Amino acid sequence: MAQRSLNKTQLIGNLTRDPELRYTPQGTAVCTFGLATNRQWTTDAGEKREEAEFHRLVAWNKLAEICSQLLFKGRRIFVEGRLQTRQWTGQDGNPRQTTEIVINDMIILDSKRGPGEEEGDSYPGEPEVMKEEVPVDEETAKAKPEKSEAPKKAPAKAVAAKKATTSQGAVKAEDIADDIPF
């Protein structure tokens, strides 16, 4: 008869701290963070009670990088993984032990924005539209006029094409200028 075993953990909870991303000497990404799960029950006396359990989570490789980019304290997530217990000797010479959950799957369950972000802002880790800043050297700064110049007027043909718009919003083909500067 074949010996069977299962080491599988599924949790839903809130992050207790921001993820910490590090790299091993071999260049493998590892991300650690905490998760709190809550349990509510009613005692025999009818008193409502709540208890929190705290878990140490570890993600490796690409999942570690994704977790560090998208997760932050307070975020609600689902994780799936396995229990792992590690033992080592601390700097004080005493033996240490920790049990952690090595995750292999993570799903974000909320649409919560990051700290200080508002609706319409991007999620942490989401690509943002970057504006290129051109460095200004001393000569360029001196050559710039102190007052802004008046906006340039549109070419006459472009204005004529705009005026040629019919009441339905269409432009007549003969009124479109081919030499509009863009």
Secondary structure in 3-state letters for 123-153: CCCCCCCCCCCCCCCHHHHHHCCCCCCCCCC
End-to-end, the C-alpha distance of the chain in Å comes to 77
- What is the chain's mean pLDDT, rounded? 75
Q: What is the pTM of this model?
A: 0.58
- pLDDT tens-place string over residues 46-96: 899 999 999 999 999 999 999 999 999 999 999 999 999 999 898 999 999
Which one of 3.60.21.10, 3.40.50.10800, 1.10.760.10, 2.40.50.140 gives the CATH number of domain 9-108?
2.40.50.140
What is the rounded CA–CA span in Å between residue 15 and residue 18?
7
Domain coordinates of the chain in residue numbers? 9-108
Following DSSP, what letter does each residue of 60-91 receive, concatenated? EHHHHHHHHHH--TT-EEEEEEEEEEEEEE-T
Question: Do 179 and 155 meet the contact criterion of CB atoms below 8 Å apart?
Answer: yes
Position 111 confidence tier, pLDDT thresholds 50, 70, 90: confident
Question: Do 77 and 13 meet the contact criterion of CB atoms below 8 Å apart?
Answer: yes
